[in-house]
Amino acid sequence: MNELKLSLENINPLVLWGSNNEHFEIIKKHFPKLKIVARGSDVKVLGDEAELAAFSLRFVEIIDHVEKFQTISGNDLEHILGATHSASTPGEQVAERPSAAGGEAIVFGPNGIVVKARTANQRKMVESINKNDIIFAIGPAGTGKTYTAVALAVRALKNKEIKRIILTRPAVEAGENLGFLPGDLKEKIDPYLRPLYDALDDMIPAEKLKVYLENRTIEIAPLAFMRGRTLDNCFVILDEAQNSTDMQLKMFLTRMGPTAKFIVTGDVTQIDLPKKQQSGLHTALRILGDIKGIDIIYLTGEDVVRHKLVKNILRAYGDIQ
């Protein structure tokens, strides 16, 4: 019988093994032929050579995860260990753990959140932003167009490719009257911008996000507040663009400075403008598609990443096929 000794450095054993040793039991379950003994920061594993090799490979991945995120869940462990072989003979190949859906991570968020492009068209967005300065991401609810756009902006900020993120939306009422909402102008407008805050919460630790918002490294504002500005050295996202008029969308696009990136997201099936007012998004998609440096990506029902019922609901309403 062979022996493998490991030492846990810069790792909190409680995080690794879990409360009541639940993580330890998960690991033991996946390696029933090994005897695993953990005392403090020392781990001793006894077993045959092939099993020890497989254990070592997966354990390194587990440690890497804990070091990166300072946490690990039972689901994370099951995912890492899910590709574990049951090799019992030397030389038998160990299956590689499949990458998480969507390929490489766009950004790592707090509490172990890994934001990835999870569908083919979301991956197109990731690839396109490297080649184009303006992207239109068009698709129904739940396709991840806004979430992916925010992730790309946060990645650019973390990589110091830009100095600021600006997120904006038209403050258009969706069946409710803005004037009847309580509070001052900011309090009236914030509910319209809440989806953008929610996305940021998944990608930036709360304290750091608070600082970014206070020093305006990240700015979230209604579309009307963009008038007269030049937006440079920043990543700018216009969300819910279907609720902007021709003049508003033209105004927004012409704010672009020499080193800016713009993403425009919208759902042409959910226009909340007054019936006699045309959506500026329709016009922009018609006249801007052939301009070099502008890309239009259409997301479909295949890109819906919310609850599985969302796709069926959209299909019932005729928004997707």
DSSP 179-211: GGS-SSHHHHHHHHHHHHHHHHHHHS-HHHHHH
Parse the chain into domains and list their residue ranges: 2-81, 105-316
Most confident by average pLDDT, 8-22, 113-127, 244-258: 244-258
User: For the whole model, what pTM was predicted?
Assistant: 0.66
pLDDT of 173 strictly over 60? no
Residue-wise DSSP of 19-49: GGGHHHHHHHHH-TTSEEEEETTEEEEEE-H
Who has greater pLDDT, 82 or 131?
131
Asked whether 147 and 125 are in contact (CB, 8 A), the reply is no
pLDDT of 84 strictly over 80? no
The chain-wide mean pLDDT, for the chain, equals 84
Mean pLDDT throughout 227-247? 95
pLDDT in tens, 106-135: 887 776 677 888 888 999 999 999 999 999
CATH number of the 2-81 domain: 3.30.1370.10
At residue 241, the pLDDT reads 95
Q: Hey, what are 26's tokens?
A: 């998960």
Superfamily of domain 105-316: P-loop containing nucleotide triphosphate hydrolases (3.40.50.300)
At residue 320, the pLDDT reads 76
- How would residue 20 be classed by pLDDT, with cut points 50, 70 and 90? confident
Asked whether 149 and 175 are in contact (CB, 8 A), the reply is no
pLDDT of 103 strictly over 70? no
- How would residue 97 be classed by pLDDT, with cut points 50, 70 and 90? very low
pLDDT of 252 strictly over 90? yes
pLDDT in tens, 138-163: 999 889 999 999 999 999 998 899 99
